[in-house]
Structure formats: structure tokens, C-alpha cells
Amino acid sequence: MTRVWERRRGLLPVDGAGGDIARGGFEPCLLALLRLSVGTESGADVTRGWLPRALARTGHLARAAELVYSITDALDQGEELLALVKAAAGAGDLCGAQTLAESIPLRQLRDQALVALVPVWARAGERDRAVAVAQRIRYPHNWGKSWALLAKAAVDRGDIDEARGFAARAEDEVSSYAVDGTEQVLALLVEVAFATGDHDRAAVLADRVEEMTRFRDPTAWSLPRSLAMVLAREALDGNLDRLDALLRPPFGPADDEGGALCGWVPGEDVAQDTDRETGQGMDPEGDLDEPVVGLLSAGALLGARGMACVLDAVAESADQDVALALADRAATLLETGDGRDHDILLRSVTLLLARQGCADRAMALADRLDPDLRGGRQADVVAELAGSGDTGRAEALVHAIDDRWAKDRALVEVVRELARRGDTGRAEALVHAIDDRWAQGEALVAVARETARHGDPGRAEILTRSIVYRATRARALASLVELSEPFRARRLAAQVLVLDGWAPVLEALERIVPRSVALVVDELTR
């Protein structure tokens, strides 16, 4: 989408817009340029979306709220006010955020805003204030979540006793009645129980999540996401028993021996059984190359999309043994058919394998896709492999991609990772291997930013001059504004304003020209 948008904005003019500002050595009046820039554009919606949230993040919460309150639809207004509360809280204005939250007319959205503020106050060290906010939440179905969030915040601070107390209160709240969201609260309490070392309690809570998920009979429209989070937490702890049980058909044979972490040997009685639908026998080894077709079933509680949720949840933190054990199970599940969630699981297991350095297995899975999709998935594999630190092998894998656009995207990902790791010289050299002009510019955005971050802003600015698309160069210069000393930042910001208007640089501009966001809103609304 970025590529399409920036290509539509067109190439830089031959005379090089902004070049005089770059060479002149003077400090332009940014407020004047900003006003002129706003005057050339129209149609921006200042009552919703990123612009009022930018006001909230830059210290103009009252002005942002004034704009949002002009929305006539009560639900839209409430949702935008909730977004402002979160934006202001994220920027550190907790008092303003709470005042705004308490003014939201719709009671349910007011409750949601207060629930969102509870952990923020707790993480800020204001434990009593967080408790007071939790006690002001009106509707009972929100009470359990607020206390569970307090328990998680206490765990993150290392206060185990307080976390257990909050967790017990949260459990009491969700035990007295069944409401939508109870599974999410219980899943969060499982996380808290693991963090406090109470594994027995975690198992009891996990049983409740599983029971509730079974009772709700999840379909494609009601996915067991909470159960997937519980399964991910247990997997990270080395326990795959529940996962294995849920992947079996509902009335399939029992496994008396339990699932082994790496081998996943289900037992001879299971190995001798046959798949109810296909009639195929099951392989007792259960490895990725020879999947255990029949041990898993589309009738199992945890389907392809649920398994994808598990893989995504562990992707950042799983060690290799756990990751490969889960990949084996996912690959076996993929053998049960080509349902509508098949590609979702295929993507998750492919990226998990790539992140663990198993590029050959990941590429083999990508080869199963239709040619129209294959190149994009191969580019994803290259990106994950580069992100894991193996940039050399990632670069070599690029040559296995036949699709030209996917190949360019993969090269961009390698360039980004090289630049992030400080190897800007090699990253810059690799840019020349990219065929597409926009993709070259996209890669140079990352190289220029990291070059500036590593202390060479002059070289970074020179690199941006190789970017031929107007909007892409403006975005690159805007990223340098955030990393430059005030004089250089003002000059770069002026170039962005001349190149592509106020939108790319607005929030970065606030640091060097306070009230920039407010000025834009004033110009748009006068």
C-alpha cells in the first residue's frame, strides 16, 4: 500500500524541490512554510483519526477533545474519545486522560477507558490511584478484567504478594457470573499464576479456559484465542500435553503415555489407528518430513487458525526445542486438508521455522503455495531469517525467489536488518542489487536513518538525495528530523514541507516548533 501511494505521488521534479533550502544555509521560518503547506491541501478530517490523536500526544488534549465532541454519532464519538484517552495516557498525561475518560457520555465506553487506565496508573507507580480507578468502573462485566490487569502490573513490578491478591479478586469477580470476556480474564490470570510460580493454580485456571471454550463450541467466527494464549504459555513451560489432546479428534484414541516435547510419540495404540475420514494409517514418529496424518482432525477443538495463534504467541520467546516441537504439530495439522484457515497456519509455521534458522524447511513449506503467493511468503522467510541475525544466509536465499517484486522486497528486508545492526556500508552496497526504483528508495530510508543514528547525519542526508520518489524522500527526511540537532532538523523539516506537505513531518516537527500540530488544526478548521 505504501508503494502504491508513494508512486502515485510521483517522481521528484527535475529542478529538485527543496534543493535551495538544502544548499542555502539559512534557517527558514517553519511556521510560515507550515501555513503555506496546509493552505495547499484540503479535505483532511480533523474530528477523527490520527490528527486529533496527534494533538493529544503533543499536549493539546483539550483541543483534541473539542474536535471529537463535534461528532454527532454517539458511538463514533465515544470510540474516538476512547482513542484520545489511550493516546494521552501513552504520552504521560494520565490526569488529563482520566478526566477525559470520566467525561465520555456512553457508559460502556467510559468503562473501557477506565479499564485501559488502570494498568497505566499501576505501571506509573500510582498503585492507590490505580485501585481507585478500578473501583469506579461501573459495570460488573468489566471488574474482573480491571483486577486481572492490576495483577499483571504487580507481577511486572515484582510484587508477588500483591499480584496474588489482585488475581484472587479478579477470579472472584468472574466466578460469580459468566459474561463475554471471561476466558480472556482467565487466560491473563494463567499468565499471572505462571509468573508468581503457582503452576498448580495455573493448571486449574487453564482447565477452566478449556472448559469454557468447549462449552462455547467455537466456530470460524468465534475462535478460541484465549485458549490459544493458555496453550502458548504452557508450551513455553515445556508442557504440550493439553495441546496434543486438543489437536486429536474429539472421540479419538487416548494416549496413556502423554506427548513428548520433541518426539511427540503418541503411543502404539494410536499409531495403529486409522484416520476416520481418509482411512490412512498414522505414523508414530510424527516428524515434519512424514506427518502424522490422522492424529489431527478438522473436528478437533483447536483448528488451523487456533494453532496459528499459538505459534504467533510463542514466536518471540520460544527456545528452539519448543519451537520445533510446535512446528512438527503444525505441519501435521496442515496435512489434514486445505481448509480456509490452511494458509493462515502455513504462514505462521513458515515464519516460526525461519526465525529459528530452519530456512530450508521454511522454504519447502512456502513451495506448497500457489505461484502467485509463493514469492511473498519466501520474502517473509528471508525477512525472518535476517531478523534472527543470519543476514548472510538471508541474502543467499534471495536468489531462490523467482518473483521480481518479492525478490526486491526480500532485499529491502535484508538491507533494513544490516543497517539496524550497524553494517551500513554493506547495506548501502546491497541497495544497488534492487531493480525497482521505489524499492531502492524504501531501502535507502532505512540506511539513511541508521546512518544518522550511528552518528553521521551528513552522509545520511546525502543518501536521501538518491531517492527519486517525492513522498519516499520526504519520509526519509522526516525520519532524520527526529535524529538531528535543532538547526539541521529545522532545515530538513523545511525540505519535507516543500516536497510533500505537512503530514509526513508533523509530529517530528513538534519537538523543534512547539504547537505545530495545533497550528495545522487551526488552519484546517478556520
Tens-level pLDDT at each residue, the chain (526 residues): 899 999 999 998 766 555 555 454 445 688 888 888 887 555 668 899 899 999 999 999 999 999 999 999 999 999 999 999 999 999 999 999 999 999 999 999 999 999 999 999 999 999 999 999 999 999 999 999 999 999 999 999 999 999 999 999 999 999 877 677 889 999 999 999 999 999 999 999 999 999 888 776 544 434 578 999 999 999 999 999 999 999 876 544 444 444 444 444 433 333 333 343 333 333 333 343 333 333 444 456 788 888 999 999 999 899 999 999 999 999 988 887 656 688 889 999 999 999 999 999 999 999 988 888 899 999 999 999 999 999 999 999 999 899 999 999 999 999 999 999 999 999 999 999 999 999 999 999 999 999 999 999 999 999 999 999 999 999 999 999 999 998 899 999 999 999 999 999 998 898 888 889 999 999 888 8
Beta strands in 238-278 (DSSP E): none
Single-letter residue type at 467: I
Q: Are 385 and 354 a contacting pair, CB within 8 Å?
A: yes
384 vs 220: CA distance, rounded Å? 28
- Residue 281 bridge partners (DSSP): 274
Cell 505501571 belongs to which residue? 123
DSSP-assigned letters across all residues of 204-215: HHHHHHHHHHHH
The pLDDT score that the predictor gives to residue 209 is: 92
Task: Please give the Cα distance from 14 to 12 (Å, whole number).
Answer: 6
Which phi and psi angles does 11 have, rounded to 5°?
A: -75, 165
In this prediction the pTM is 0.82
CB 193 within 8 A of CB 201: yes
**Alpha carbons 97 and 84: distance in angstroms, whole number:** 8
d(CA 470, CA 400): 32
Q: Return the pLDDT at 17.
A: 53
- CB-based contact 365:331 (threshold 8 Å): yes
User: How many whole angstroms separate alpha carbon 149 and alpha carbon 4?
Assistant: 41
Cβ(64)–Cβ(84) below 8 Å: yes
**How many H helices and E strands in the chain?**
30, 0
Give the C-alpha separation, 265 to 249, whole Å: 17
**Residue-by-residue DSSP string for 435-473:** -SHHHHHHHHHHHHHHHHHTT-HHHHHHHHTT--BHHHH
Q: What is the CA radius of gyration of the chain?
A: 27
**Gap between the Cα atoms of 419 and 460, Å rounded:** 12
The greatest distance separating any two alpha carbons of the chain, rounded to the nearest whole angstrom, comes to: 82
Give me the pLDDT at residue 300, please: 61
Q: Quick count: other Cβ atoms within 10 Å of Cβ 346? A: 22
> Residue 440's closest CA among 415, 474, 406?
415
141 DSSP assignment: G
- Give the position of cell 490459544: 228
- Pairwise CA distance, residues 212 & 195, whole Å: 23
Per-residue pLDDT at 248: 79
- Distance between CA atoms of 146 and 153, rounded to whole angstroms? 11
Cβ contact 153:122 at 8 Å: yes
> What pLDDT shows up at residue 89?
97
Q: Residue 85 in contact with residue 97, Cβ under 8 Å?
A: yes
Q: How far apart are CA 466 and CA 458, in angstroms?
A: 14
Of 148, 54, 61, the closest CA to residue 517 belongs to: 54
Torsion of CA 268, 269, 272, 277, to 10 degrees: -130
DSSP per-residue letters across 25-72: -----HHHHHHHHHHT------SSSHHHHHHHHTT-HHHHHHHHTT--
* Cell numbers representing residue 146 in the block: 480491571
CA–CA separation, 86 vs 97, rounded Å? 7
CA distance 456 to 494: 20
- The pLDDT of residue 15 is 61
